[in-house]
Chains A and B, each alone.
Chain A
Amino acid sequence: MTRLAAALLAFLTLLFGIALCVGPAQITPLESLYALLFGGDGPATLVMREIRLPRALLAVMVGGSLGLAGAAMQGYLRNPLAEPGLIGVSSSAALGAVLAIQTGLAASVAFALPAMALIGAVIGVLLVIALAGPRGSSLTLILAGIAISALASALISLVLNLSPNPYAASEIVFWMMGSLADRSMSHVWIAVPFMAVGLAVLLSLGRGLDALTLGEDAASALGIRLSRLRLFLVFGTACVVGAGTAVAGTIGFVGLVVPHILRPLVGAQPSRLLWASALGGAIMVLAADILVRVILPERDLKLGVVTALVGAPLFLHLIYKTRRQLG
């Protein structure tokens, strides 16, 4: 366990360093790190501190959130297909964020953006859990997810098309596919409090999720209060997914791919999968964000494109594996 944590942390640190050195501006790695740490008058300091640092930080924060949320939902629903993007939680959060921007709320109070996304995410999670039922069978889970995603996406498009602003409609792509381009430290600061709370709440669920692998009755017998567990899960997931989506849009499949790869390495134990998936998610989104800048440095290739190219085939594989259960 500690070896896995150390390995993930080392890899994450390495990628973080690379992310700081990759970008359209031609600055050597040595120069960039010097400008980041010691500053200076040149534009390199501005680029490092105001553009690349917040971007790398957000990649870690958003990725960690999505990985953690995926692992937590899969633990609770005991279903490997539960992922915030696939089951409509991210889209609902995005709808909240879009409403915050278009009503002008986000412009007057900065925290309104993640707060509205959180409210959207809460509604999304509650709907999914209500529709899929406590046992969360794959079929109902995915169907509920499709319905919620479709509705939220349609409402996002409607709101953005109704906006008097000529740029609004083109932003549908951002909300569907996600991007970390042109973010600043202010986005880091508005997301941090929500993510910290969500992280603490979700990591505290480890024991309950472990007990739940034995079944609901056994878990109750072990002293786990299921209603409280569900409440924490809904709130924690909404916190991290809401804040992440508010600043980076919808980035799918992270919560599906990461727990799937790490599950065998933690002995399929939900409590250990939680922190491992948070680290793994951070690695995946950071790597994806480096990739989009290497492939098309001058243009904003959306992050969700890369994560879907990796995630969608795995999703198909998982559906194939569980097809008997799906009937």
Chain B
Amino acid sequence: MALTSRAALFTLASVLNFKLISFAAALALSGAVALAEMPKRVVSMNLCTDQLAMMLAGPGQLISVSHLAADPRSSALADEAAGYVLNHGRAEEIYLMRPDLVISSSFSSRTTLDMLARLDIPVAVLEPAYSLEDVRARLLQMGDLLGRSSVAEDMVAEFDARLAELRMTGNTRPSAAIYHANGYISGKHSLSGQIIDAAGFDNAAVEAGVAMGGFLPLELLAMLDPDALILGRRYRGASRSEEILDHPVVQKLREGRASGAITDRDWVCGTPHVLRAIESLGALRAEIVEP
């Protein structure tokens, strides 16, 4: 078990960081005494790693999460995040917290991570989740990093069981499109694409030749004419980019059909909260399949 968890640590896709490698190597060399190596002052600096860390960390182990984790629009654990020191992803403030492990995402600023590494702080980099399989993998990786593998394994087992209950396997698969500001559409190989797939929808983006995600002109969305149109969430403040969500064409595509679904905070990160998104889509699908 200890061996596999060390192996998992090594397979973190973005272990480009020299300090992290030496940190991991030190851990691996020190043998199976996982508890002795359990980090005691962990700082997370990415919205998604924040939520994974809050779910898995032991009492007092996690000291800071990013400020986004406390924003109820983007974070499923906003209330809980209020109990932590909030950081803004800057090397200075994080260094002053004297962490013994910093957890970040491959989307975090490279220069900040390099700076932390130069300051001799171990940095772990997790890839974002692009599928439900990735959600399991990130849980296990986070468990390993925090020295709480058994908690993570329990959580994965629970996730698997609940996902098996929720997954729609019927032959009737209505089409759905997930449309965001600026006309960005989520493809099949994205976390939101996998969420609607598990909820029993075919992704309309596939028909338009979009795999991961990309910009789809409004005209083409109208021609796809999906059974359900799921819109991207809106952010604080105003923008021209989000105006497209109010465009008469988008409104007409939602009129008289299953609608109301928005890619809210449960959709953003690869955490077990995606199950809530899948569950809420079940009602949407039922509206279309059994009117």
Residues in A lying within 8 Å of B, measured CB to CB: 23-26, 43-44, 46-47, 50-52, 101-102, 104, 106-107, 163-168, 170-171, 174, 181-182, 184-186, 297-300
Contact = CB atoms under 8 A, between A and B. Distances in A.
Interface of B: 181-183, 215-220, 222-223, 225, 235-244, 247-249, 252-253
A167 B222 contact: no
Contacts of B215: 298-300
Nearest to A160: B239
A186 B248 contact: yes
Contacts of B182: 167, 170
A181 B183 CA distance: 10
Contacts of B244: 182
A298 B241 contact: no
A167 B239 contact: yes
A24 B182 CA distance: 16
18 contacts: A43-B223, A43-B225, A46-B222, A46-B249, A46-B253, A47-B219, A47-B222, A51-B218, A163-B237, A163-B238, A163-B239, A167-B182, A167-B239, A167-B241, A168-B239, A171-B239, A184-B249, A185-B248
Given A43-B223, A165-B237, 5 more contacts: A50-B247, A165-B242, A174-B240, A182-B244, A184-B248
Contact of B220 (A25, A102, A164): A25
Contacts of B240: 101, 167, 171, 174
Contact of B235 (A26, A165, A174, A297): A165
Contacts of B183: 182
| Interface pairs A-B: 4 shortest CB-CB | A165-B237, A167-B241, A164-B237, A25-B219
Contacts of A25: 217, 219-220, 222-223
Contact of A165 (B217, B236, B253): B236
Given A182-B183, A182-B218, A185-B248, A47 B238 contact: no
A106 B238 contact: yes
Given A182-B183, A182-B247, A51 B219 contact: yes
A293 B183 CA distance: 16
Given A43-B225, A104-B238, A182-B247, A24 B220 contact: yes
A40 to B, nearest CB: 13
A14 B257 CA distance: 38
A101 B222 CA distance: 27
Contacts of B252: 46, 50
A165 B242 CA distance: 10
A47 B237 contact: no
A102 B238 contact: yes
Given A25-B222, A43-B222, A164 B249 contact: no
A175 to B, nearest CB: 9
B241 A171 contact: yes
A157 to B, nearest CB: 14
B246 to A, nearest CB: 9
Contact of A101 (B219, B225, B239, B249): B239
B73 to A, nearest CB: 10
Given A101-B238, A167-B181, A171-B241, A24 B248 contact: no
Given A25-B223, A51-B218, A182-B244, A107 B249 contact: no
A164 B235 contact: yes
A46 B219 CA distance: 9
B235 A50 contact: no
Nearest to A175: B240
A324 B242 CA distance: 49
Contacts of A23: 217, 219
Contacts of A164: 235-237
A163 B239 CA distance: 9
Contacts of A171: 239-241
A142 to B, nearest CB: 30
A46 B255 CA distance: 13
Nearest to A44: B223
A243 B219 CA distance: 25
A167 B239 CA distance: 6
A104 B238 CA distance: 7
B35 to A, nearest CB: 41
Contact of A107 (B181, B238, B248): B238
A46 B251 CA distance: 11
A167 B220 contact: no
Contacts of B239: 101, 163, 165, 167-168, 171
Residue of B183, B222, B238, B243 with highest tally of chain A CB at under 10 A: B238
Contacts of B242: 165, 167
A165 B222 contact: no
A221 B239 CA distance: 52
A167 B235 CA distance: 9
Contacts of A43: 222-223, 225
A73 B235 CA distance: 41
A102 B240 CA distance: 9
Nearest to B242: A167
Nearest to A169: B239
A101 to B, nearest CB: 5
A127 B225 CA distance: 50
B219 A170 contact: no
B206 to A, nearest CB: 16
Contacts of B241: 167-168, 170-171
Contact of A24 (B219, B247, B249): B219
B248 to A, nearest CB: 5
